[in-house]
Structure 1
Amino acid sequence: MVVDSISSPTLGETRTYTVLLPRNYDQNPDKRYPVLYLLHGIMDTNEGWYRNGRVKSVMDKLVESGEVCEMIVVTPNAGGNIYEGVWNGYFNMPGWPYEDFFFNEFLPHIESRYRVIGDRAHRAIGGLSMGGGGSTIYGQRHPDMFCAVYAMSALMDLDANGGLPSYGQEKMKIFNRTVREYSTIDFVRRANDETREKLRSIAWFVDCGDDDVLFDVDIAFYQTMRDAGIPCQLRVRDGAHNWEYWNTALYTALPYFTRAFTKETYNQSK
């Protein structure tokens, strides 16, 4: 596991990130790997998936059992404690052009620094809560970049009065407003035939607990996808908006990404 940082002219600051490398990465210097970008939730950082989600131990176990292929897992840092004045969010906001940073600086940096295969067929994205919404937005707005999206307990939209309380924090007000503007549900509803066809090229998966605070909006997104004729898998399990749920979701998500990578490789070879 590698913790590193990137200095971003776009954001005007340095951002840390974590990379989980395959166990034999250094012993196979000519081998390249699929890559998974795994996004954290609001108030969290790149450390969350390792400290609380235990992604390394889950990955090691599933690779050992043969259920998951070796892949590089990248967790960027798009947050921190927003009530301490730290920006949060994976989309562009006034003063925080994170989407531009991710695609123009961060992704090229990762895929030149580490031995990533570097094509759409071997690049996937997923995340929890804010990161679940962020991964969905990235899949929608950049369908040529990812073969699969896995959204856990995802912040797909907010109603007019929804979102975390701002407590006078301007950045939280901007965040809540931008989530509404980037509504993943409205995106599907507004999509023309060409855009919907591009969305159909991605493997979509929504995973949400039946006691999750975002359950209704995740179901609404899934239904909107069905209405638009865009295939999307749905998993509803017993659980709430917490790390216990997201840790167990990895046992479905990581094999799902493996199947997506394998399918795309097979299709390319035909």
Structure 2
Amino acid sequence: MKRILFFLLVVGMALSIHAQAPWGSQSKVVTDTIYSKILKAERAYTIYLPKSYEVDKTRSYPILYLLHGVMGVNTSWFTDQRAGEVADLLMASGEACEMIIVSPNAGGNPYKGDWNGYFNMPGWAYEDFFYQEFLPYIEKTYRVKADKEHRAIAGLSMGGGGTASYAQRHPDMYCAAYAISALMDIPEVGAMPSQSPDDKMAILTKSVQEHSCIKYVLNADDATKEKIRSVQWFVDCGDDDFLLDRNIEFFQAMRQAQIPLQFRVRDGGHVNEYWHSALYTCLPFVSRCFGK
């Protein structure tokens, strides 16, 4: 009997040690806030830390900035599109490398009068916040490989347009950009008319038009085009998506400028399940780009 108890004790200790090993650790999805002096407000963000993050305190990681859509918030990628679950699966299978994934909150509901958007607007200097406060804070607070070769950006809808525009205008910051169902531009015809000078949705619409990803490429000089070529590009849009034409126009502009990009049109619309499925291509894509 004593031998049996001793054997069970040894097995229990072995299992306990196994549970504490790196292969027994878990990834974490954490929501926190940063105070912005530029926006004069607390801004939330949600961050995914891979399973080895708490095990190896000396290790640093590549990072993916993940931008939500117009009706989303920082948690949306991890609730509606289940980014943490996809990351766990792909990292466990070796299809994606371990990385940090972070999604900032770019606003609230513009239909209810909240500021929203990734660009600077009167009263909402979000892009200044992102580059002067948020990105430096994240890469100082967490163990990030803080260079172009290990930093990527991706997003859906409004965040897809933000992804493309940020990578166009800050090509020295990113090795890869993955734009999903992207709001590359809003044509003047069909754009939402302004009901008042303070209409947040109209201000957001104007900011997207002023930062047209399509026109930026068409108007770029040779030096700018060469810088944009330093980014690895991937554009992903559903065949039933109302933004498909804008994505095709972006692809045509990039092709005309001889800027390489991968362009995929898959079955689907402007919906959560499409964006969830895009992660299975996005995470392996940025993984292949890291370190190059």
Q: Structure 2 length as normaliser, TM-score? A: 0.88
Structure 2 Cα separation of the partners of residues 10 and 204 of structure 1: 30
Structure 1 Cα separation of the partners of residues 212 and 274 of structure 2: 24
Aligned to 2:220: 191
- Whichever residue aligns with residue 284 of structure 2, its letter is P
Change (3 A) 1:248 1:34: same
Structure 2 Cα separation of the partners of residues 113 and 4 of structure 1: 12
Instruction: Pick one of 199, 202, 206 that aligns with 1:177.
Output: 206
Structure 2 Cα separation of the partners of residues 18 and 41 of structure 1: 15
- Whichever residue aligns with residue 177 of structure 2, its letter is V
Aligned to 1:130: 158
Q: Residue 162 of structure 1 contacts residue 176 of structure 1 at CA under 8 Å; is this kept in 2?
A: no
Aligned to 2:268: 239
Aligned to 1:253: 282
Structure 2 Cα separation of the partners of residues 131 and 212 of structure 1: 15
1:52-63, aligned counterparts within 5 Å? 52-63=80-91
Structure 1 Cα separation of the partners of residues 227 and 187 of structure 2: 27
- Deviation, 1:85, is 1.4
- Deviation, 1:20, is 0.2
Instruction: Pick one of 192, 215, 231 that aligns with 1:202.
Output: 231
Structure with higher Rg: it is: 2
* SS of corresponding position for 1:236: strand
Q: Select between 79-88 and 65-74 the one with higher mean Cα deviation.
A: 79-88
Structure 2 residue 93 is matched with structure 1 residue 65: yes
Moved over 3 A (4+): 161-169
1:39-50, aligned counterparts within 5 Å? 39-50=67-78
Change (3 A) 1:53 1:114: same
* SS of corresponding position for 2:278: helix
**Structure 2 unpaired stretches of 5+:** 1-28
- Whichever residue aligns with residue 86 of structure 1, its letter is D
**Structure 1 unpaired stretches of 5+:** 265-270
* SS of corresponding position for 1:222: helix
Structure 2 Cα separation of the partners of residues 249 and 144 of structure 1: 25
Aligned to 2:103: 75
- Number of aligned pairs? 263
Percent identical among aligned pairs is: 57
- Deviation, 1:79, is 2.0
Aligned to 1:229: 258
Aligned to 1:106: 134
Q: Structure 1 length as normaliser, TM-score? A: 0.95
Q: Select between 165-174 and 61-70 the one with higher mean Cα deviation.
A: 165-174
- Whichever residue aligns with residue 147 of structure 1, its letter is C
Instruction: Pick one of 180, 186, 199 that aligns with 1:158.
Output: 186
Structure 2 residue 125 is matched with structure 1 residue 94: no
- Deviation, 1:167, is 6.1
Aligned to 2:36: 8
Aligned to 2:176: 148
CA root-mean-square deviation: 1.1
Structure 1 Cα separation of the partners of residues 56 and 119 of structure 2: 36
- Whichever residue aligns with residue 183 of structure 1, its letter is S
- Deviation, 1:161, is 3.2
- Whichever residue aligns with residue 179 of structure 1, its letter is V
Instruction: Pick one of 25, 34, 39 that aligns with 2:62.
Output: 34
Aligned to 2:147: 119
Q: Residue 152 of structure 1 contacts residue 208 of structure 1 at CA under 8 Å; is this kept in 2?
A: yes
- Deviation, 1:163, is 4.3
- Whichever residue aligns with residue 172 of structure 1, its letter is M
* SS of corresponding position for 2:33: strand
Instruction: Pick one of 227, 244, 247 that aligns with 1:215.
Output: 244
Q: Deviations over 1:77-130 (max 9, x none)?
A: 002211221111001111111111000000000000000010000000000000
- Whichever residue aligns with residue 214 of structure 2, its letter is I
Q: Residue 6 of structure 1 contacts residue 106 of structure 1 at CA under 8 Å; is this kept in 2?
A: yes
Aligned to 1:139: 167
